[in-house]
Chain A
């Protein structure tokens, strides 16, 4: 016996796809166990139980592959099979990305919002796991899409919240747990292929809707639309929220003449209210609500047909050519006496209970009628009692696909029935259509044959009745499936109710009974009970017309246009749409980080968020930046002796890293506060000095970012918002203070900058007048720079603008020449202009309640800190990472200090790593290749609120830079902002050792979102 375990980091496929892979690998001969799944605790526990040895560090975002085979050779075969299946999944993902989504710039969309922006979609099909589905649905609504929420396990409070949020935007949420809808002939989820027609369906039940639409199609009637509601919509709690919208939309739809409302038992108050609404809308409706004493679905369809003046046909059925029985004839006596119903369709199972109970008495089920015995979903044991199971029930689908997709469990149970002497008749359903198993009849027929021969082997007969829901136009083909099943010895009915009655006939030995007209049962339902419920309503005017004063199209025009769809979750559902020639944009969905779900849900539901973020983005992009003054920090910031500013979030000397300490030592020496580095260290460790972040004073500093009172500062002004930002003058590269060097040459240069460079540049700026720095930002992207690690063009533009005002100064010509040489020779000089310009943009976007925009990313060499617009001055930190990249000279990774500097303000504002595509040469400095530069920029659009039209990326057809990092998008996609950065030496005094790429720690974003969630005001009614 050989085991194989492999962990694939950060690989994500949807669960249906993975279950199919596991199933297919398991089918390899000699393979005893095959599990391919995400490394969740639950999955890992199961694998350990199965005896697999797992490595310790497996996360929920890792794909775990565990195979067990009888020998090494078989194991190799299984691995090969697995590889090809996973490659197939990958190919599908690539193909999905290859569609229109990819043409927007390479990266597949990671959120519904992103997919919506790049398509003309009107609806999102969400089938992500329940705990995340609410977030995805909110994202869809926020992006102006209606939602078909396929996912289950969504709390009812969330359902109400989603439906209200959608209605407020003239959109609809169909679901949760909504399996079926048809919009303009397009099947979303599970639905049958029906002819277009005049009957609209509003359905709180998936397979119930499929039964109704299939029967209507068989009767020659067509469907205009089928709008799903989710199973709870007609409960008192949800109050028919989606049903009201659906009825109004269908009333305004010119194609719809009559509506059927399909539901499991519904709240009488809700039913009455909907009836009144239909009356007001002039919309004739038929109710097909299942329940004791209520007409079955087939009867409701017949009522509908009569209401629209269409003939009621004989519903097609296929007798079995087998020897057991012929429908209508005298069934052969069965050995057993119990009914076994094994259903995939929940509503079909329920209908079976409703139809059979009056004949058989109480029937055990995992979804029993009130007062009947409940059996555990896995308690499928044999016995003399009647039993009807819904194998699609939530309890049974946790961790496995719905039996309409993966029939394995049901087939196993069917085979077992053959051994059960108690069983008198086996009743199963088979639902065809889009989304269902592509070829279900052969497997089912095989299982039925096995069961029947097992029964024969013990000398018993096992009659089998199949309720087949589908149409001839379904991909699987109704007739073809029926014949396959009939050949296997089953009687096949297109009416589920008729199938149940045929099964009862086998038990009683009498021919099937046609139902007596149903009498009002409990009075719980309104007047439509006696006659199964047509509400004829006069249409206003001589012909169905557009209302005289047209209001906005209902549901945002969902029913008027041919659908385009965004899908998130099961790839199978996207494939089913493609097979219908529907344009699909598939989201490359990944689960959000663990532990952030509750905060995300709260933040996403904050009604202020959208407007707050829009305002933040508008302010950020509107901000201007003019260099208005150069003066010492003592003057512009009021910095007193002994006060030092540093980069990043707040820091103490004890926690400061080598380069930060080195820079502080150098600054103390420059200020004359200490005579030697040792004295300086003693001073800095004592109580006499104060350390504060640059950001706390409206300033930014590259690398260590240390500012002391005598240092000259650029002062930039934003005339739009009236704010100011500051940054020191750049010292150049190599051994410099900001990289932690403090040797004599460093101190000498700083003194020259204080005595010559500062005053000369200050006078030049005075003479020139305000210098438009924002224009440099726009221009440098056209010239191959990204503003963080490439600032050559902006430096030269700055020098060009100031030159006339430098040469005209009445000073020592040698000093002026040295200033020109120093500025022109330092490719990074303009970094210290770009940074405060970016700071002005972010300052403009700060302090907007409810906004999840990141306004600061900064590092101090120990911590990485971020600030959000909606959380004021609070810092959220995590450990600074060591960048990966290229090293100078003989330095290597072991020499590098963790990430340091306020220069990530450039990325925060959409420069630097976010516009690497505009500066492909940067990869020679920071590592990576040109492709990486391109894909980095395109992927950053997934986490930003918008684009900055002033910062255009030529190679992306002058698309605006990705601007405004949304902390919510970061957490949802798991995509971290990409930062280009310099690397400082770990040991104080070393200076620069290289440049590279780095990302913030995820925990900073988690903490920030939790704080933002705490500030969400309680909504009314909570």
Chain B
């Protein structure tokens, strides 16, 4: 066909299908080609780990129906992902902007810019409304186990002048089963919630302190979860969480409460415990903002 567009590039026997990489995609996607390990495969997404032996960020390949992680490579159609025939534990080659297996290849044709959570002070009445609307979706009882208590402990430390954060943070990082342990999800929620409730204010400083306290502990959780923690510290999250945070900032309307409650539902449904832990983190951030008297901020010295 003389006039077909360059839909794909034939190379090494397989057609490379175009994909779009996040600006936050792992750098090894663009580095020299090397081995990668397939960590997990689903209908709508696959996660690849760096197979070089170095501990590096996880590469997520996501179709439109999948969970759009901030650093993901977007695959336009499910067939493009399925063409790779990925099997958990098997090897793929990643680098030079490409992902290849024996049966298929993806090539980065475009960079997409992930959304960021709003970083603006949240007026008191809006924070109250947001917190009330969160209540129906918050986990009750013990589904999160010790995560909830340790989250409270961290919140208490954040709320106390000069309290050290290292201990409470270390008690959460990597706590819980799964690819994204619930303790990390709670931390993500807390980081994002602090960002979305205050700018040039106490909350922002708390977020920075928390992020700083996190860094030394990132190696203690899964590579995927560590990636998400780093992104959360930068204000990046999956769309459902961003939608909720943006809804917090929308001017009040008669139905605002209901709108916020509805916005929390997709977050609650994330993963097995992830959504619940994220919401708990957001809840703690809102509470910190509402409780806060004008106390002095934790200084960098207090960290660690």
Contact = CB atoms under 8 A, between A and B. Distances in A.
B142 interface: no
Given A119-B64, A185-B111, A581 B74 contact: yes
A380 B121 CA distance: 64
A581 B75 contact: yes
Contacts of A770: none
Interface string A534-552: 0000000000011111111
Contact of A581 (B1, B18, B118): B18
Contacts of A575: 5, 7
A120 B4 CA distance: 27
B120 interface: yes
A846 B82 CA distance: 48
B3 interface: yes
A579 B5 contact: yes
Contacts of A581: 17-20, 74-76, 108-110
B246 A562 contact: no
B199 interface: yes
Contact of A580 (B75, B109, B114, B251): B109
B246 A550 contact: yes
B2 interface: yes
A185 B110 contact: yes
Given A562-B112, A578-B18, A475 B5 contact: yes
B77 A100 contact: yes
A553 interface: yes
Contacts of A184: 112-113
Contacts of A549: 120, 123, 249, 251
A553 B246 contact: yes
Contacts of B121: 548
B115 interface: yes
Give the interface size class of chain B. 35 or more
Contact of A100 (B18, B64, B108): B64
Interface in B183-199: 199
Contacts of B246: 550, 553
Nearest to A562: B112
B5 A583 contact: no
A560 B17 CA distance: 25
Nearest to B119: A546
B250 interface: yes
Given A475-B6, A545-B120, A196 B18 contact: no
A545 B5 contact: no
Q: Which of B5, B65, B108, B118 has its CB near the most chain A CB atoms (within 10 A)?
A: B5
A542 to B, nearest CB: 9
B76 A584 contact: yes
A579 B251 contact: no
A103 B113 CA distance: 28
A551 B5 contact: no
Nearest to A576: B5
A572 B7 CA distance: 11
B292 interface: no
B181 to A, nearest CB: 28
A438 interface: yes
In terms of DSSP, what is the predominant structure of the interface of chain A?
Answer: loop
Contacts of A584: 76
Contacts, number: 100
Contacts of A580: 18, 20, 109-110
Contacts of A572: 5
B78 interface: yes
A477 to B, nearest CB: 11
B105 to A, nearest CB: 13
B79 interface: yes
A650 B118 CA distance: 63
A373 interface: no
Contacts of B65: 100
A583 B120 contact: no
Contacts of A302: none
A103 B79 CA distance: 11
B248 to A, nearest CB: 9
A769 interface: no
Contacts of A453: none
A575 B5 CA distance: 7
A564 B62 CA distance: 14
A561 interface: yes
Contacts of B115: 560-561
A561 B114 CA distance: 7
A99 interface: yes
B77 A196 contact: no
Contact of B112 (A98, A185, A475, A579): A185
A583 B2 contact: no
A437 B3 CA distance: 8
A562 B76 contact: no
A40 interface: no
Contacts of A546: 118-120, 199
Contacts of B251: 549, 551
A475 B2 CA distance: 15
A551 B111 CA distance: 27
Interface in A568-590: 572, 575-576, 578-584
Contacts of A186: 110
B4 to A, nearest CB: 7
Q: Which of B109, B111, B118, B121 has its CB near the most chain A CB atoms (within 10 A)?
A: B109
A582 B76 contact: yes
Given A575-B5, A579-B18, A120 B64 contact: yes
B249 A196 contact: no
Contacts of B4: 438
Given A545-B199, A550-B249, A579 B113 contact: no
Interface string B244-264: 001001110000000000000
Given A438-B4, A579-B6, A582-B20, A99 B77 contact: yes
Contacts of B18: 578-581
Interface in B56-72: 64-65
B210 to A, nearest CB: 21
Given A185-B110, A196-B111, A581-B109, A24 B2 contact: yes
Nearest to B113: A184
Contacts of A578: 7, 18, 76-77
A869 B71 CA distance: 50
Nearest to A548: B120
Contacts of B108: 581
A562 B5 contact: no
A88 interface: yes
Contacts of A460: none
B64 A579 contact: no
Contacts of B239: 561
Contact of A552 (B23, B111, B120, B250): B250
A32 interface: no
B270 to A, nearest CB: 17
Contact of A562 (B20, B78, B109): B20
A186 B118 CA distance: 24
A826 interface: no
B247 to A, nearest CB: 10
Contacts of A553: 246
Contacts of B199: 545-546
A951 interface: no
Interface string B283-295: 0000000000000
12 contacts: A119-B64, A547-B120, A550-B118, A550-B250, A561-B239, A562-B113, A576-B5, A578-B7, A578-B77, A579-B7, A581-B18, A581-B75
Give me the 10 closest cross-chain CB pairs, A-B, nearest first: A550-B249, A562-B112, A581-B18, A581-B20, A583-B64, A581-B19, A583-B76, A581-B76, A546-B120, A546-B118
Interface of A: 20, 24, 88, 98-100, 103, 119-120, 184-186, 196, 254-255, 437-438, 475, 545-553, 560-562, 564, 572, 575-576, 578-584
Given A437-B3, A583-B77, 5 more contacts: A103-B78, A549-B251, A560-B115, A562-B114, A582-B20
Interface of B: 1-7, 17-20, 23, 64-65, 74-79, 108-116, 118-121, 123, 199, 239, 246, 249-251
